[in-house]
Structure formats: C-alpha cells, structure tokens
Chain A
Amino acid sequence: MMNPSMDRICMSMPCKPQYVNVVRMTVSAIANQMGFNVEDMEDIKLALSEGCSNAIRHSEGSFFEVEFSMESGGLKISVMDQGKGCHENYQASPDLTNPKEEGGLGIYIIKSVMDEVSISTKPGEGTRIEMMKALEASK
C-alpha cells in the first residue's frame, strides 16, 4: 500500500458516454493503490460514474473535469462541469416506491455509498460534485 501523500490527479474528459469507463478504470487503479478494499472500490467506481453521467446528461457542455485528491484520510473526488447548471432543489430524494425510468437515482446513489458528498450548482454556472471515501474504515 502506498503512503498517501496528498497527490492530485486531474482529468479533462469529453462529455461523451464512451469515456466514462476510462474514468472508472482510472479511479479503480487509484483506489487500489491507496489500499481500499474491494467493496469500497466498487462504491467509489459507482459514485464517480454517476457523477460523470450526471455531467454528460445534464450539463450540455462539451467537457467536464475530474480531480482526484489522495489525502491521508481517504480519497476525495470532484466532478466539475461548466454547463448549464440547475436549481439546487433538484436534489430532492427520489420516490423509491415508484422509481422513474428517466433517472433521479444518480445523486441518491452517490450520497448512499460515499462518506461525504457536497453539490454546488447554479443555473448557468455549471455543477460541482465533491465526494469523499474514508480510507480508515476500508482497512
């Protein structure tokens, strides 16, 4: 296992669905190197994919950025787009007894599997999703 050293990795990705698995493979390698267990690695891959899918589906921008911060306490990931943004009340909890085909589960899934999540978005100013998975609990 490596010694977390506050390293940062940044990726700039086209808003195209075929590249989400590239981001997923990248975070899998980073999380493995940091010493996360298999279940936590799956959680991180899922949450990040949801963040990327959110940017591709809703930003209407041409690219988005992903930043990985390998901190002593865990892995912090930011997904940022410069797209149309949205009103912050979109984060309302989905009705799990009557799921919708068109989505609404993505943010809910991110919040369910990550330890800390924050979302900032405003119309016309893009969206930033920050998520963190603690490393200590994974050992």
Chain B
Amino acid sequence: MAMDIQVYYDEEQSVSHMALRGEVDIYTSSELKAQLQRLSKDHPDKDIRIDMSQLDYIDSTGLGVLIGALKILRPNQRNIYLINPKNNVRKVLKITNLDQIFQVEGDLHDEP
C-alpha cells in the first residue's frame, strides 16, 4: 500500500495539520520528510498535529523523519502531536520510548 499525506495550516488555531494514510517505510518516508520539513520551516513556531487514525504502518525510517521535524520545532518550544495511532503504531512508539518524546493522543483501539 502506498502512502497519502494531506496537509493544511489552520490560520485560526495557528496549528499545522497533517493526516497520514497507508504505510510509512524506507520508500515512502522521503515524501513524509519533505512535507514535514516544509511545514516545520514555514511555521517553526507552531505545533504540528498529525492524524494517524488511517496510518497502518510505520517503521524506524518514518520515526526518524518525525524526530527530525521535532528537532526543528523544539527550539521554539513547539511539539508534534500524534493523534489516534492504531495499536501497532502505538506499540512501536512505546518500544522506542517516543511516546514520551511526542505528545500521543487518543485511546487504545479495540481490534480483532
């Protein structure tokens, strides 16, 4: 499965939004990196909220991209919020301790 990224900046709330769908791996992470770098450089003083509810998979390559974007935002005391990750995504965030680095929101999902 490929990856789809929707991005918009909410002027009213002063927050950057991103919605991820599909799979982020060594192949698709370059597109995520380009979009996140653009967002974090265009609006370095704003938080980024990433909707992960339709993200089926992410590996260390994708996590590295998120870490890189966070390092651009951190000097401005901004953060990246990961919204409603699926259980498997939440698990890899926990394994790598990144659930303590990023702000993770949403409850565990009931999955078969």
Q: Are A17 and B64 in contact (CB under 8 A)?
A: no
By size class, the interface of chain B is 20 to 34
Q: Is the interface of A mostly helix, strand, loop or mixed?
A: helix
CB distance from A136 to the nearest CB of B (A): 20
| Distance between Cα atoms of A123 and B101 in the complex (Å) | 34
**What's the minimum C-beta distance from A91 to chain B, rounded to whole angstroms?**
14
Q: Which residues of chain A are within 8 angstroms of B71 by Cβ–Cβ distance?
A: 101
The reply on A120 being an interface residue by CB < 8 A is no
Chain B residues with CB under 8 A of A2: none
B95, A109: Cβ atoms closer than 8 Å: yes
- A75-110, CB under 8 A of B: which get 1 and which 0? 000000000000000000000110111110110110
Q: A46-B92, A99-B98, A101-B68 are in contact. Are A109 and B59 (CB under 8 A)?
A: yes
B112 at the interface (CB under 8 A from A): yes
Contacting pair B64 A100 (CB below 8 A): yes
> B1 to chain A: which residues have CB within 8 Å?
21
Whether a CB of chain A sits under 8 angstroms from the CB of B47 is: no
Sorted from nearest, which 8 A-B pairs have the closest CB atoms?
A: A96-B97, A17-B27, A101-B68, A105-B60, A42-B88, A17-B26, A53-B26, A106-B60
Known: A24-B25, A53-B25, A101-B68. 8 other contacts (CB 8 A): A17-B26, A49-B26, A56-B26, A57-B26, A97-B97, A99-B97, A101-B65, A105-B63
